[in-house]
Amino acid sequence: MAKIHATAIVDSKAQLDDSVEIGPYSVIGPNVVIGARTVVGPHVVIEGNTTIGCDNKFFQFSSIGAAPQDKKWNGEPTRLTIGDRNTIREFCTFNTGTVQDKGVTSLGNDNWISAYVHLAHDCQVGSNTIFSNNAQIAGHVEIGDWVIMSGFANVHQFCKIGAHAFVGMSTSLTQDVPPFVLLNGNPAQAHGVNIEGLKRRGFTREQINGIRTAYKLIYRSGLTLEEAKTALQAEEAANPAAAEQIRSMREFLGTATRGIVR
């Protein structure tokens, strides 16, 4: 049987694995599914159509799966999904999606989410990310794998942040961020490639050099974005050791909808 504190309120329709732990005064709604070995600390509210995977840890005072903060929401059965092995610290707020978008807010696996983080409706967050305290993510934002959001960084709705990007402290983002880029400021400005992060994740010297070349084509060459795409395609063909990374930067430019921080 799941280990449920006597003061917790767990709806009889909620689906909890037998190894789940629910702390004092927490509230679990009827449409919640929680996977094996997940631990929910005290004073946590999990509601809505929320599915949570295995080995997650929720610290106290978080609100998970509440209705989206969107005036267009009219009670539709939208969802929140959370993967495996995520750490979610104090006072976080994750909302469900809206029918105007995918209808689901999602968080992948192995993410470290610090205190006071807001993940708004319809956000799509990958895996292995780090969100420092008070990172605030507006609706419809897409964030790739291995992204680091520093403390008090905030992201405008509909922005996209590519994999392995690093967003500095108190940065205000209103445009998209290509993969591997390091940036900060208000308004945000690009300041090179997230080299230290790439080294820690095992990228080779050849791959990092290829990413740096791609960065220079986008940011330092004076090319328009269309010209940069063509140049990146040529560099991709000429540099097979880093072709995958260069391709991801080129393809990101083709999907950016708000322009890129440049």
Distance in angstroms (rounded) separating the CA atoms of residues 222 and 201:
31
Question: Which residues partner with 79 through β-bridges?
Answer: 49, 104
Closest CA to 64 of 86, 81, 83, 85: 81
Q: 215: which 2 tokens? A: 């960065």
- Single-letter amino acid, residue 259: G
Task: Give me the active site residues, please.
Answer: 121-122, 139
Are 182 and 165 contacting, i.e. CB atoms less than 8 angstroms apart? yes
Closest CA to 171 of 201, 151, 148, 195: 151
CB atoms within 10 A of CB 51: 18
Are 128 and 111 contacting, i.e. CB atoms less than 8 angstroms apart? yes
Closest CA to 107 of 91, 130, 90: 130
Task: State the DSSP string of 176-235.
Answer: BB-TTEEEETTTTEEEEE-HHHHHHTT--HHHHHHHHHHHHHHHTS---HHHHHHHHHHH
Angle between helices 225-238 and 243-255 (to 10 degrees): 160
* The residue to which tokens 């983080």 are assigned: 117
